[in-house]
Structure 1
Amino acid sequence: MEGAAEKVKPFKFVLLSMIPFLFLSGCFGKAELEQQAYVVVLGLDKADDNLVKVTFQIANPEVGSTGGGAAPTEPPSDIISFTASDILSAKELANSVVPRRLDFGHLQTIIIGEELAKTKLFHHIIASSIVDPEMRRETNLIVSKEKASDFIHANKPKLETRPHKFYAFMKQRWRDTGFAPYSNLNRYFQRLSSELFLSIYATTDKNETVSKNEVDYEPGQIPQKSGDPVQMIGSAVFKNGKMVGSLTGKETRIALFLRHKALNHTFVESFPDPVNDKYRITLRMTKPTKTRVKINTKKTPAEVKVTIPIRLQVFSNPSLVNYPTNPANQKKLRKSIKENLEKETMDFIKRTQEEFQSEPFLWYLEARRTFWTMPDYKNYDWEKKYQTAKVDVNYDVTIESFGEQLKPADIDKPGRD
């Protein structure tokens, strides 16, 4: 009997070791690539009777890839729209037209028409779509001035064959320039309660204006000739899930500066020349450390003290005023930039207090730390207290360099030695 038991042990071991393969080698959820239609851009527009017009931009995987030579005449994507009660029902309805199964696994961008964004319906539509596991929370949110369907049809970037690449590259540019905020579904749901949420603002319609400050534009106002039709600059402002206004590129940069921790740390911008006001000086501004925010909720009104460290590098000096070797001129330049930044910042803060009656600077996180419990913080009502808060902003400005030249070159005049 003992010998028979010893022979059974190896058999049991082999049998037990094969059980995991029953779960690891299955093909229950397999899906062939050629059977999938990958939606890379989703558009949402307002329709009648609380319905929504959903636009799908479906990528053609054979165009723009390494094997793209097999389909040289095919378009890079297909754009199709449906009117339904929500996104998921429109997705199901699309399968009556599209022969492949629609897949949101590669969805990176959602375009919202401004008309829809200004209604309560938008939040109901976007919140109900999260039940689909394919809707990822890192998906970018962009508000278009025109209808989202018109925006998607008009956006034909010349340098990018595949449509999703355009938005992927623009996402990096937003972080580099600070012209637009970094906005996605996750940040939207985080900032639904009272505080302002900033979304990327864009358009393909042009209403060109010329401003001395190259960042003081909204989308469509940039004086552009030829090139891609899309302009993305500034922010769409959301409060309680509804768009309530917009910011220029300049105001968006200020909002990012005022946050304790921001993704953008380097900007290039021009300022009036304090010695010769006919010209502007172009500088690179860097923020070496975090913005320091101190909030006193014990006082009435509440006090907010903000210190923003700024380091400056002079890039361009068209007036040829001697700043590199003249300490008096350097002092004038530093003072002028400091006063300019502080005035623009205080004007913008006043606008948020009076017009939006809330703040997009994430200061509520600092105010919340001054209370022991969440009920105490909620009873304090930071949103209401912010409207009358006394805010003091100080830019700690330091000029690091004036370029490689020690002194700006001047033109020799006839008769000069």
Structure 2
Amino acid sequence: MKSKLALLLAVCLGCSLVLSGCWNSRELNELAIVSGIGIDTLDGKPGYKVTFQIINPSSSAQTTGSASNQPPIVIVSATDRTIFGALRKASRRATRQLFFAHTQLVLIGESLAKSGITSIFDIFERSHELRLNSAVLVSKGTDAASVLKLLTTLETMPSMGLLKKMQNTSSVWGENRRITVFDVINGITGESDFTINGVQIVGDAIEGQIKSSLEQSDPMVGSLMSGLGVFKEGQLIGWLNGPESRGTQWVLDKVNETSVNVNSPDMEEDIAINIFYSKTKVRVELREGKPVFHVHIREEGILNETGGFVDLSKEEELKRIEQGIAEKTAAEVRLAVKTAQEMKTDIFNFGNELKRTHPKEWERVQQDWSAAFAEGELDLRVDAYIRSTGMRLKPYIPAKK
């Protein structure tokens, strides 16, 4: 009997050691939840300026008095030779311990991006709190701290507003896509170059930090998703804007939905087509030592608007519109590839595709792939189809005589 009791006591003690999950617990009211991180250079000096966007619990709590007039975020910055050192130094200004498990956004200043970002993401892979699925943006024409300080409409948390803005334009316009810390690390370590979404400030950045700037129906200050930053060997070397950005996403098979305007018999670009499906297939080969990029895009859309008379009951009219969609898509793809070749940056993963399918041919051009890519030939085919024209085949707009 005594042996059974001793065994039971030993089991209970063993379980207590294994199940003691709260040994390093931290109370919520002792934490400062970081929603966004901005990283900038130190004006030529070695090290980083790291800015933390912290959620202000007082602004969202059901309290009265001065607390209700506080902004929804608090900005804390620190400088150090390393990002981790800046993180620890921030404790001198923060009344609570910084907590990074809910960080949604990592913002890189343009000057830092130009000098190189290969080393700043090392801490994200080593830390158990920093998240690899946090979105990454590059501040265009300004530093990261200025963007993080902006207050936003509709969304209480500015970092969440930037994240949703990126997701929204990615899902319905197609010039951007969600890029995470994990994607950037893969781009740095891969054979090809890569891109990161850009964001710029519209209006006076200082005014955008004041809560009163939001007390109008049309705020004069805000942020705007703007193009793709092109990175080669971890350094920002240029920007892709407008059609170049969307052409890049088409090649990368990252267009979920977008809108294309084509010509009608009466006017230019007054027929709006909503592209709801797009699929891209890429094949790369060497032909007489020169790379050939075979790109096949198949897309389907719905005709949403016509500005002039278009007789959609005629099959030849539909074929003409489908041809216009294909030509518009092909023009943007060719522009994107041409711009990338001028920069000698393979942002389309052509090198990785050649390495995967033809490893022996890849070994022949691996050492000078940038030059080989710049001389490559694009073999492009675009098939476009209209799947619906709405409820009216002949619009009420009369044809011009």
TM-score range, shorter chain: 0.7 to 0.9
Identical aligned pairs, as a percentage?
A: 25
Who is 2:356 aligned against?
369
Counterpart-to-counterpart distance in 2, 1:50 and 1:368: 37
Compared with structure 1, are the counterparts of its residues 371 and 40 closer, same or farther at alpha carbon in structure 2 (3 Å cutoff)?
same
Aligned residues: 381
Q: Does 1:236 align with 2:229?
A: yes
Question: Cα RMSD (Å) of the superposition?
Answer: 2.7
The structure carrying a bigger strand percent of its residues is 2
Q: Does 1:68 align with 2:57?
A: no
Task: Give the counterpart of 1:266 among 224, 235, 257.
Answer: 257
- Report if aligned partners of 2:167, 2:177 keep a CA contact under 8 Å in 1: no
Compared with structure 1, are the counterparts of its residues 76 and 95 closer, same or farther at alpha carbon in structure 2 (3 Å cutoff)?
same
CA displacement, residues 282-308 of structure 1 (integer Å, 9 cap, x when unaligned): 1111335x3121222354212221110
Compared with structure 1, are the counterparts of its residues 88 and 377 closer, same or farther at alpha carbon in structure 2 (3 Å cutoff)?
farther
Compared with structure 1, are the counterparts of its residues 195 and 372 closer, same or farther at alpha carbon in structure 2 (3 Å cutoff)?
closer
Q: Normalising by structure 2, report the TM-score.
A: 0.86
Compared with structure 1, are the counterparts of its residues 380 and 69 closer, same or farther at alpha carbon in structure 2 (3 Å cutoff)?
same
Compared with structure 1, are the counterparts of its residues 205 and 158 closer, same or farther at alpha carbon in structure 2 (3 Å cutoff)?
closer
Partner amino acid, structure 2, of 1:282? A
Counterpart-to-counterpart distance in 1, 2:76 and 2:24: 27
Measure how far apart 1:58 and its partner are.
0.9
The structure carrying a bigger helix percent of its residues is 2
Partner amino acid, structure 1, of 2:294? K
Who is 1:195 aligned against?
192
Q: Does 1:33 align with 2:28?
A: yes
Who is 1:407 aligned against?
394
Instruction: For structure 1, list consecutive stretches of 5 or more residues without a partner in the other structure.
Output: 1-5, 208-224
Who is 2:249 aligned against?
256
3-state SS of 1:369 partner = helix
Which stretch shifts more, 309-318 or 25-34? 25-34
Task: Give the counterpart of 1:352 among 328, 331, 340.
Answer: 340
Who is 1:283 aligned against?
273
Measure how far apart 1:243 and its partner are.
0.5
Counterpart-to-counterpart distance in 1, 2:369 and 2:230: 19
3-state SS of 2:57 partner = coil
Who is 1:307 aligned against?
296
Q: Based on CA coordinates, which of the two structures has the bigger radius of gyration?
A: 1
Measure how far apart 1:190 and its partner are.
0.5
Compared with structure 1, are the counterparts of its residues 167 and 68 closer, same or farther at alpha carbon in structure 2 (3 Å cutoff)?
farther
3-state SS of 1:106 partner = coil
Compared with structure 1, are the counterparts of its residues 76 and 312 closer, same or farther at alpha carbon in structure 2 (3 Å cutoff)?
same
Partner amino acid, structure 1, of 2:167? Q
Task: Give the counterpart of 1:23 among 10, 18, 26.
Answer: 18
Task: Give the counterpart of 1:125 among 98, 120, 127.
Answer: 120
Instruction: For structure 2, list consecutive stretches of 5 or more residues without a partner in the other structure.
Output: 205-217
Q: Does 1:77 align with 2:73?
A: yes
Counterpart-to-counterpart distance in 2, 1:277 and 1:411: 13
Counterpart-to-counterpart distance in 2, 1:26 and 1:396: 57
3-state SS of 1:150 partner = helix
Counterpart-to-counterpart distance in 2, 1:358 and 1:163: 33
